[in-house]
């Protein structure tokens, strides 16, 4: 079997780079042409880091995923699958949107090993049309170095650039139909098409032939004006971020007005456990009230010992108010950890 000389490898790398540049130039030309017919491009950039820890020799593959909020009701999940035997990383993404969008996704990968040496660097391009809430991009395989690489600890950094086409007369604009909602005796103007895309309840409410349609004022009872206004700021293109102060109120409104994408946005925030100070018992409480299976799983998996389950959940204020179903999930996790701990230390007592 012949081995490629360094100059041949360099030539192949250059050809690959030139091909990527050509594709980007074609896409840039397409974007300019479309901008002349009433469209404009929105560019969002994010950086994602995936930790790739030492992998046991007997493990053939290791999969990881991270979800990123790209704004305007769009989220992207990035998947990575490391195949130890073939020294390959397979990357792909899935884009979720509440409205139909055309988007170009460029993922630039870069990685260094434990000694600071560059392991891989690539630019991966996908052209996606999200027509039914989500679209999955192509899978890209990239080499990640020499054999035995899986014995090293390092991380993979992925730079994500999303070029999204939007109409100049987007959903939130002066020409869109609006209605007036009445909350706590105060009026608030609402963009009908945009809010209807987020909320099944409000879509039906604004389309109904009840008396509210005749006078153009739609009352919303038992709702805080400040919370509703906050919700609009979160879902409108300004895309105010979810944080520790508004996440619970947003989950409540998402549950009341049937807004699955807002719930998803809140769960993305809650899943980033290291970036906020919300306690485990508070997150479990929200997961219980709003049926957040993802959040419940993340919290319980992060508590890796029976001692942590006891101190952070069972002995914490608020545990008694949890539902029977949630307590069963906590008990199941506790038993699982207890068995593991006993197998590791057979002499451990109760």
Top-confidence range, 46-55, 106-115, 155-164, 245-254: 245-254
Is the predicted pLDDT of residue 305 greater than 70, yes or no?
Answer: yes
In the CATH hierarchy, which top-level class contains the domain 178-344? alpha beta
Does the domain spanning 39-167 belong to CATH 2.60.210.10?
Answer: yes
> Domain ranges in the chain?
39-167, 178-344
Residue showing tokens 């991380």: 155
DSSP character for 151? G
The model's pLDDT over 59-105, given as tens digits with 9 standing for 90+, comes to 556 677 888 888 777 888 888 877 766 667 788 888 887 666 767 77
pTM of model > 0.75: no
Whole-angstrom distance, CA of residue 325 vs CA of residue 34: 52
pLDDT of 137 > 80? The answer is no
């Amino acid at each position: 079997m012949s081995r490629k000389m360094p100059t041949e490898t360099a030539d192949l790398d250059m050809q690959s780079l030139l091909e990527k540049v050509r594709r980007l130039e074609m896409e840039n030309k397409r974007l300019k042409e479309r901008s002349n017919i009433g469209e404009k491009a929105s560019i969002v950039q994010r950086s994602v880091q995936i930790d790739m820890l030492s992998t046991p020799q007997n493990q053939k593959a290791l999969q990881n995923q991270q979800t990123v909020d790209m704004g305007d009701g769009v989220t992207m999940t990035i998947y990575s699958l490391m195949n130890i035997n073939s020294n390959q990383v397979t990357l792909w993404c899935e884009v979720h949107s509440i409205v139909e969008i055309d988007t170009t996704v460029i993922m630039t990968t870069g990685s260094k090993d434990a000694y600071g040496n560059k392991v891989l660097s690539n630019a991966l391009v996908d052209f996606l049309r999200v027509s039914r809430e989500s679209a999955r991009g192509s899978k890209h395989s990239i080499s990640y170095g020499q054999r035995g690489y899986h014995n090293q600890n390092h991380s993979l950094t992925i730079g994500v650039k999303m070029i999204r086409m939007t109409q100049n007369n987007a959903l939130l604009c002066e020409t869109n139909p609006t209605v007036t909602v009445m909350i706590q005796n105060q009026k608030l103007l609402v963009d009908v098409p945009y809010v209807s895309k987020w909320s099944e309840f409000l879509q039906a409410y604004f389309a109904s032939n009840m008396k509210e349609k005749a006078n153009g004022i739609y009352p919303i009872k038992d709702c805080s004006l400040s919370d509703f206004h906050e919700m609009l700021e979160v879902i409108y293109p300004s895309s105010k971020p979810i944080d520790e102060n508004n996440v619970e109120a947003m989950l409540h409104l998402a549950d009341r007005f049937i807004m699955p994408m807002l719930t998803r946005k809140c769960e993305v925030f809650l899943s980033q456990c290291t970036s906020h100070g919300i306690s485990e018992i508070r997150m479990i409480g929200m997961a219980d009230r709003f049926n957040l299976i993802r959040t419940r799983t993340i919290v319980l998996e992060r508590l890796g010992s029976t001692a942590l389950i006891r101190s952070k959940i069972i002995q914490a204020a608020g545990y008694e108010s949890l539902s029977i179903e949630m307590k069963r999930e906590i008990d199941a996790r506790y038993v699982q950890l207890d068995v593991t701990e006993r197998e590791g230390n057979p002499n451990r007592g109760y």
